[in-house]
Structure 1
């Protein structure tokens, strides 16, 4: 503003000096720029007119103008002109130059007026403007270069240098700007094509036309020029990619969109309409895929299997209606789906393996094949736990089934090994195969008997060849290795080979008796049986068998006392004064059997007088059961039966002669014909011959009789000695009368020495003080002989029985 005031002042001073020289009318001129602020100083009018400020006040100075707008006001107190309203030169004068305000200042008393001219100078406060902010041109891409296109001029309200100075067109790739000055001073603006257009490259071009004025600072205006390039069929379709890639999952349903290819044609309209097609002719692509002619979508029309083809190459063609084409390739990768189970192929296998196979022995080779890929084709195989085998993986999906621990056919003779293979797909698929493996036997087990020892029982008097017992041994091995043979081991029983007692069946183990056993000779024996298998080398074990012989009631009781002889009669004397229960004698018998077969009972079978005597059932004691009377016969004959307890029972009978008398003469007279009562028919002839012999040859006959008796007793003792009976004979003791009234007043004292061999057993009797026994010899014609107590019944020194009876008168 200060610069403009200085300029204005210079003008005013210059004007005043000229006015003072060349005019006397009172005129002053000021020059001010437009757009000054309200209240700005225009000029000191009082000073410039040479007036006092008091004169302005007293003369009531005022401004007079013909126009209705007052832009200048007078300040009388200060004597200056001020801007009353904002002055816009363009609104006030438009394009007219110069632009000035004319008004008068009038004074009264006296009346004076002065002319004031205020020239308004232009400032660059307006930018060039175009009538339209945007204009459009449609130019064909086939337009030749040099074509001209007239542009609209810009308008600048400012004048002079502040008006439009020049034009600029940007960008200038295809067009150049030419400005022509007309004779009227106006300018024509043209746009000239200097480079051919290509709609396919740039369908629309936007240019900016700028008009710049010459003011300070410069101001400009712009207009947008939009050029639409019209199409010509000069472009073929072009695919967006030369090679497309797509992925499709195998087993996808028909109609699945695999991919969409896109081709563009830079042309427009019918020139840009594209048709898509598949050009594959050799392979089966057209049977699997189809392309939509309009939008380029490739769809699935057939079955797709990753295992048959993992990718497809589809040749696609894009054609416009003008016959121009472009081609591309669509590579379709088939994505695997876990739709195939692992295949287990047995490369080689052994159906049989020995139970003594070493560790890591290969049993089976397996190859695994899964047609899927990636994780779907990664296969892991395993077998059941708790098996003596392990599955080892090798390269290229090969597995080896090998032994992992010791095999024992006796524990498991066969294995069903299930190999399961699973892939890593989601969900996982698996397959399995069962291998049957037989374990061949090795002879590693010896036969084992069912028991650690055996006991068998057999009843004596068995039939030779009788089956006694069966031993049984089992061999855990198989077939020939388990075939058990039974062998009787060599041993002896009582110095005799055991094979003479029993035999063993080699196949069945049945033990047979070779001989008939006699319990009284041998009661038990034992031997060993060996069980041997058929392996190579054979294994064996043995067991002890004990045979217990059971007694059979095959021996009748044997009466040891009283001794029954054919040469003399023995009679027991019972005094007539004997009380009830008087012990007459005792029948002593033994049974070489054992157990209940040797339990003996005594019964009185026959008696001269049953009311006089009785026999103890268990002890064989003969006692009186009543008082003896004079009416009782002197000679009493008792028949006692001895029975054992066997089934069936066996018995023996003994005849006991009893003399009921107080003296021997009485007994002698009664016993003279005693022997004639024998039941045997031969006795009568025997007595007649004896009587004749006694008469004729008394001495010789007595001697022969004595010798005969001796020989007879010796033979009886030898028979007893040589008998193989193991039971020790029982010899009667001497009896004592419990009442003290009988003639048997003393007791037989005896000693028993027993061994396992009955022939070596001794039974010795001590000597008694006396014995009341009568021996009646029929050849003595009634003469009673007294047997001395020192005389032995059996004279042989090795006799098992020594009895020294004596008769006391």
Structure 2
């Protein structure tokens, strides 16, 4: 408990008050860390006069006053005090009139609150206004007219009009003084509420014949310094004998009236009786001025004594009225009674809400219980009518908590989530407990500021896209999109490529693709080759612009689509530059006889690798046909003697791409039953060709010789090595320029069972022609013809092969085969 009292410099006025009044101490309980101080100052101080040092009395630093934006908050209409935050003092803001501020209420004071923010602190300040003798006692009328019968007995009382002094305490009305006279003395009395009034007492009988008229002075004196007074003239007319005074039937009347009662509302009726008859027995009723304008609020019928409402009655201004009613007869005799009128409060004032402090922007991460606003609620009504309840919408995450008297805090009740609700319209409702209830409300608009508490989220759990090979570098593949529920910078998403290695060649992902950091567009950095890489799988990180930043990853797969950019490659028969490979068909071959099979592969995929085989050039289309899908060359009729021995077939291999690509292979077929027949035909063919093309042969030979001498060392060595390297997987290794060719009795790779299983071969094809292989089995019982017109060596290797004719078990056949081989060798030489 702390007691603060500050007395300001009040000059001579204050020193006189201190000498006559003992200063009182007020004790105030302080809630938590809040302080309450009290100052006493005289009224009528000039604007700017010092009230007290608030900073010193509250123990606050001047910097705290400035940083906390200290200010005065009050619900009153007038600001009587001003806070100087730079000096920490309170000064008078405007002239204070105690009588205007409090009327007859003592002690007189007003209160206000000083609020500081960051953190919020609330301090109550009470300023007591000390009365200054600035008003003199006054009478309602300048002249008091009395008519007194000369028969009035000694000791008769004559009530006089009371004076009114709005000052309080010693400065108020203290005494009455009557001018010197022989007939009357003054007797001073007080009501229960302390109002003083004067009564003249007759001490010497009047003699109308000697003095028919008396004029006296009544002086009302206060106790201030300097003393002030008011004077009224008493005009006394001496009447003839009236020896009975009016007498009220009650010494006290009590009644009540509801505030805001309509004018003319009946309150009560006073009655007095007079034993006299005639004009001396006629009684009239009047009000005696009490408490200034109190009597003006009511009317009294002078003949009946009926009291009614004359002005609007406000409980908040006056809760009770006391009126003295004078009953006077025609002889001037009178009696007095008191009428007490209690005002009954009605619920005619709605609560008034004043916002003292409000934070319109709140971060979404503030904890529950954070103070959003401080407000004050006042209701001028009393008791139950002034009992206030404050509330907010139950659907809103806020609650109201009372702090000081009539002060409330608006607190958050949950953790905010800006992404769910980014602003609140808060309506504070204050309702009294009257009947009917009155309420008022005030709306507050609260915005929730963002905190980076949400990760970017991709619109898909993973992404896949297709791109055709041989694309142009820098081509846009597709776009990634990630959304962040945060706001502004916290929701600004950047896209980053996770630069990891991929399986193909252990290269970095950034060598293949790139991601635009702003738009999320994925670009191809290089041209893709389907035959080298089928897909690119990588991760992209979406990162927001918050602090610290939040991120999430997504897996992206780019599938490379094949393009028909590779022609078919013929694996069999092998085309060499220096030899002619032939197939031999016996003249006894049946229809459908398998002559040979063209084997080709295409490193493309899908329909781009679907191959079809066609005969492009053939001497007799009625003799041979090629399988469209399997490349098998078969006879389509019986071979006759008229068919030429040498048949040169040109087979074209096409893929199914758009546009399609193709390769051509030449298959030489010899229609003969023995090697001698083939060799004889070949010899004739050779001589005819030599004779017909003699000139061409020598020209080509001369050009070959010159070229050979020019590039002997370089071209031959490099060409041979490159050639052997490329053919190493599809050809068997041989040191001779003659390539052995085995008879075409193949196994049925399709499993149709149409071919004899006497000769087997395995074809191993890959998408890389350099890795293809052809594995040949042992020779069967078909004829093989190897012809090399440019060869100067004997076919000793042919002789070493196991060549068996149509009847492999016959000795004669074996001898005939050997003989034919020798003859063929001689012709070749």
Task: Give the TM-score range, shorter chain.
Answer: 0.5 to 0.7
Aligned equivalent of 1:747:
759
1:692–1:503: structure 2 CA closer, same or farther, 3 Å change rule? Answer: closer
Structure 1 residue 715 corresponds to structure 2 residue 727: no
**1:499 partner SS:** helix
Structure 1 residue 354 corresponds to structure 2 residue 359: no
Distance 1:472 1:717 in 2: 53
Distance 1:676 1:439 in 2: 104
Aligned equivalent of 1:562:
573
Structure 2 residue corresponding to 1:412, chosen from 403, 414, 421: 421
Distance 1:441 1:262 in 2: 79
TM-score, structure 1 normalization: 0.59
Aligned equivalent of 1:246:
255
Shift of 1:735: 4.5
Aligned equivalent of 2:529:
518
Aligned residues: 545
Distance 1:311 1:789 in 2: 149
Shift of 1:271: 3.7
Structure 1 residue 643 corresponds to structure 2 residue 654: yes
Structure 2 residue corresponding to 1:614, chosen from 607, 610, 625: 625
Distance 1:763 1:550 in 2: 27
**CA offsets 1:754-799 (integer angstroms, 9 cap, x no match):** 7xx95895635143324755444453599999769999xxxxxxxx
Aligned equivalent of 1:480:
489
1:260–1:497: structure 2 CA closer, same or farther, 3 Å change rule? Answer: same
Aligned equivalent of 2:165:
none
Distance 2:685 2:575 in 1: 15
Point out the more displaced range, 553-562 or 444-453: 444-453
**CA offsets 1:316-338 (integer angstroms, 9 cap, x no match):** 44333333334444443332222
Aligned equivalent of 1:377:
386
Aligned equivalent of 1:497:
508
CA RMSD in angstroms comes to 4.5
Conserved? CA contact 1:471–1:511, under 8 Å: yes
Aligned equivalent of 2:671:
660
Distance 2:702 2:280 in 1: 183
Structure 1 residue 453 corresponds to structure 2 residue 462: yes
Structure 1 residue 543 corresponds to structure 2 residue 554: yes
Structure 2 residue corresponding to 1:598, chosen from 602, 609, 624: 609
Shift of 1:341: 2.4
Structure 1 residue corresponding to 2:448, chosen from 429, 435, 439: 439
Structure 2 residue corresponding to 1:507, chosen from 490, 499, 518: 518
Aligned equivalent of 2:779:
769
Shift of 1:376: 1.7
**1:318 partner SS:** strand
How do residues 225-264 of structure 1 correspond to structure 2 at under 5 angstroms? 233-264=242-273
Distance 2:536 2:664 in 1: 36
Shift of 1:378: 1.0
**2:385 partner SS:** helix
1:485–1:721: structure 2 CA closer, same or farther, 3 Å change rule? Answer: farther
Shift of 1:410: 2.9
**1:364 partner SS:** strand
1:332–1:480: structure 2 CA closer, same or farther, 3 Å change rule? Answer: same
1:369–1:772: structure 2 CA closer, same or farther, 3 Å change rule? Answer: farther
TM-score, structure 2 normalization: 0.58
Larger Rg: 1
**CA offsets 1:424-464 (integer angstroms, 9 cap, x no match):** 12222222223222222222333333344333322211111
Aligned equivalent of 2:746:
736
Conserved? CA contact 1:275–1:319, under 8 Å: yes
Distance 2:629 2:484 in 1: 56
**1:438 partner SS:** strand
User: Unaligned stretches of 5+ in structure 1?
Assistant: 1-141, 143-231, 724-730, 792-806
1:765–1:460: structure 2 CA closer, same or farther, 3 Å change rule? Answer: same
Distance 1:501 1:403 in 2: 53
Shift of 1:537: 2.4
1:490–1:384: structure 2 CA closer, same or farther, 3 Å change rule? Answer: same
1:763–1:656: structure 2 CA closer, same or farther, 3 Å change rule? Answer: closer
Shift of 1:513: 1.1
Aligned equivalent of 1:584:
595
**CA offsets 1:152-203 (integer angstroms, 9 cap, x no match):** xxxxxxxxxxxxxxxxxxxxxxxxxxxxxxxxxxxxxxxxxxxxxxxxxxxx
1:547–1:735: structure 2 CA closer, same or farther, 3 Å change rule? Answer: farther
Distance 2:558 2:259 in 1: 85
Distance 1:674 1:373 in 2: 139
**CA offsets 1:361-396 (integer angstroms, 9 cap, x no match):** 211111112222221211111222354432111231
Conserved? CA contact 1:278–1:286, under 8 Å: yes
Aligned equivalent of 2:542:
531
